């Protein structure tokens, strides 16, 4: 039953067995095509497994028959491939949750757009994100504002 598959999927996730998590997600999807939790698990497992190319092709396949907003995942994969303009494009018009803002700041950093990058880290400061200050300082140093 699908419940058993999700139990198994959950166990693989807890043990960081991402290959197996992808496999079980696919099993769920074969009996319940487009299942949103299974699609999300598969994508996250592929990304955590550094299978960026496969994550992108999964997004490509699923976005045709799903109403899930894949733009963050897509942008993250493009960022990993250093396709920075395309990554920004995928984030355009997305709601500014902290994951999206973190990714946008990292893309802007690589593009050398330090003022825009630092602006985002400034906004994120109240969100208490672990190690945020490391990237914030990197942005400030690169923007030539190290004394701040």
In whole angstroms, give the CA distance from residue 45 to residue 18: 5
Distance CA 92, CA 97 (A): 13
In the complex, which residues of this chain contact other proteins (CB under 8 A)? Answer: 2-3, 6-7, 9-10, 13, 36-37, 40-41, 44-45, 47-48, 73, 76, 79, 98-99, 102-103, 106, 109, 129-132, 134-135, 137-138, 141-142
Total count of residues recorded for the chain: 148
Residue 135 is a binding residue for K ion (CB under 5 A): no
**From other proteins, K ion, none, interface partner of 76 (C-beta below 5 to 8 A by class):** other proteins
* Eight-class DSSP state of 132: H
Q: Name the residue nearer to K ion (CB basis): 68 or 116.
A: 116
Interacting residue with K ion among 24, 78, 106, 120 (CB under 5 A): 106
Q: Count other Cβ atoms within 10 Å, centred on residue 48.
A: 14
Instruction: Give least dist CB 38 to other proteins, A.
Output: 9
CB of residue 101 to other proteins, shortest distance in Å: 9
Containing 119, the helix (H) or strand (E) segment is helix 114-124
With both helix axes pointing from N to C terminus, report the angle between 71-80 and 36-48 in degrees, rounded to the nearest 10.
10
- Binding residues (CB under 5 A) for K ion: these are 106
């Amino acid at each position: 039953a699908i419940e058993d598959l999700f139990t198994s999927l959950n166990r693989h996730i807890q043990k960081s067995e991402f290959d197996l998590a992808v496999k079980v997600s696919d099993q769920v999807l074969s009996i319940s095509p487009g299942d949103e939790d299974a699609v999300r698990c598969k994508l996250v497992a592929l990304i955590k497994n550094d299978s960026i190319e496969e994550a992108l092709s999964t997004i490509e396949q699923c976005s045709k028959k799903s109403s899930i907003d894949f733009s963050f995942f897509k942008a993250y994969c493009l960022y990993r491939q250093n396709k920075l303009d395309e990554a920004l494009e995928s984030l355009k018009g997305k709601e500014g949750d902290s994951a999206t803002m973190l990714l946008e700041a990292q893309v802007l950093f690589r593009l050398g757009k330090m003022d825009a990058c630092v602006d985002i880290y400034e906004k994120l400061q109240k969100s208490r994100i672990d190690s945020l200050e490391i990237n914030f300082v990197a942005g400030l140093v690169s923007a030539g504002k190290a004394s701040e």
